[in-house]
């Protein structure tokens, strides 16, 4: 890799796939989101075999091309198999120092955090960005916990020097406040993959995010 780490500084909308919720399928969702201007895609797949995942990940990698960062959720083996740009891992997944040793310095590692202390520890241990979760209550991840609210985003943002990506219960109606409260980027899974027009939904989210962040 890559100069793709540089893209982390200019993120707006961040697509996370969900084949269980998707109306048109993961590949279609990725295609439409990237066509709409999305510059980071996380392949999050909980229901397929490793073989199926490797095949699908390889297709997603080609859709992302040079324009969008391509990360794999949890599965460092799948990320390595297709030479993805990196991984997104949670507090209960592979410890980040071991993930870094396996993946090398150039790959991107994102870590889910829930509070300031986890965020500070994530930066200290070499995460390239944090996913702050969940901002609002969400039915998409059953064990996500209760929404922490937008005020907490500022506290986390002020405590660290790596990008903060907000996730959990975010949609077109509430995304402005998420960015105005300090998130660099945000994920909206159900709001996007359950919509009839993923491309239009992504474009509209990107427009609000850019306007809210002054990056218009």
The residues binding ligand TZP (CB under 6 A) are 16, 133-134, 138, 140-141, 144, 167-170, 187-190
Q: Which structure tokens are listed for 64?
A: 């992302």
Assign 186 to helix, strand or coil: strand
Interface with Mg ion (CB under 5 A), residue from 7, 27, 90, 118: 90
Q: Which structure tokens are listed for 96?
A: 């980040």
CB of 190 to ligand TZP, least distance (A): 3
Binding range to Mg ion, per CB under 5 A, among 85-93, 130-138, 142-150, 204-212: 85-93
Write the DSSP assignment of 52-114 as a string of letters. Answer: HHHHHHHHHHHHHTTTSEEEEES-HHHHHHTT-SEEEE-TTSS-HHHHHHHH-TTSEEEEEES
110/169 with CB nearer ligand TZP: 169
Interface with Mg ion (CB under 5 A), residue from 12, 45, 56, 74: 74
CB of 200 to Mg ion, least distance (A): 30
93/180 with CB nearer Mg ion: 93
39/195 with CB nearer ligand TZP: 195
How far is residue 93 from each of residues 75, 87, 103, 177, measured CA to CA in Å? 9, 11, 15, 30
């Amino acid at each position: 890799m890559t100069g793709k780490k540089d893209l982390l500084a200019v993120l707006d909308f961040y697509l996370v796939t969900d084949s269980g919720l998707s109306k048109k399928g993961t590949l279609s969702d990725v295609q439409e989101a990237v066509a709409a201007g999305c510059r980071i895609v996380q392949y999050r797949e909980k229901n397929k075999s490793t073989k199926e995942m490797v095949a699908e990940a390889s297709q997603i990698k080609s859709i992302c091309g040079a324009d969008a960062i391509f990360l794999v959720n949890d599965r460092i083996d799948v990320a390595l198999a297709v030479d993805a740009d990196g991984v997104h891992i949670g507090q209960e997944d592979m410890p980040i120092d071991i993930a870094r040793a396996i993946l090398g310095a150039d790959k991107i590692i994102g870590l889910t955090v829930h509070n300031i202390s986890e965020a500070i520890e994530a930066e200290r241990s070499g995460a390239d960005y944090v996913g702050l979760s969940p901002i609002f209550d969400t039915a998409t991840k059953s064990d996500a916990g209760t929404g922490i609210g937008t005020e907490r985003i500022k506290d986390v943002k002020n405590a660290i020097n790596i990008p903060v990506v907000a996730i959990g219960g975010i949609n077109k109606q509430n995304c402005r406040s998420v960015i105005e409260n300090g998130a660099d980027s945000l994920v909206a899974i159900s709001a996007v993959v359950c919509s009839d027009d993923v491309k239009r939904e992504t474009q509209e989210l990107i427009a609000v995010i850019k306007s809210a962040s002054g990056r218009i």
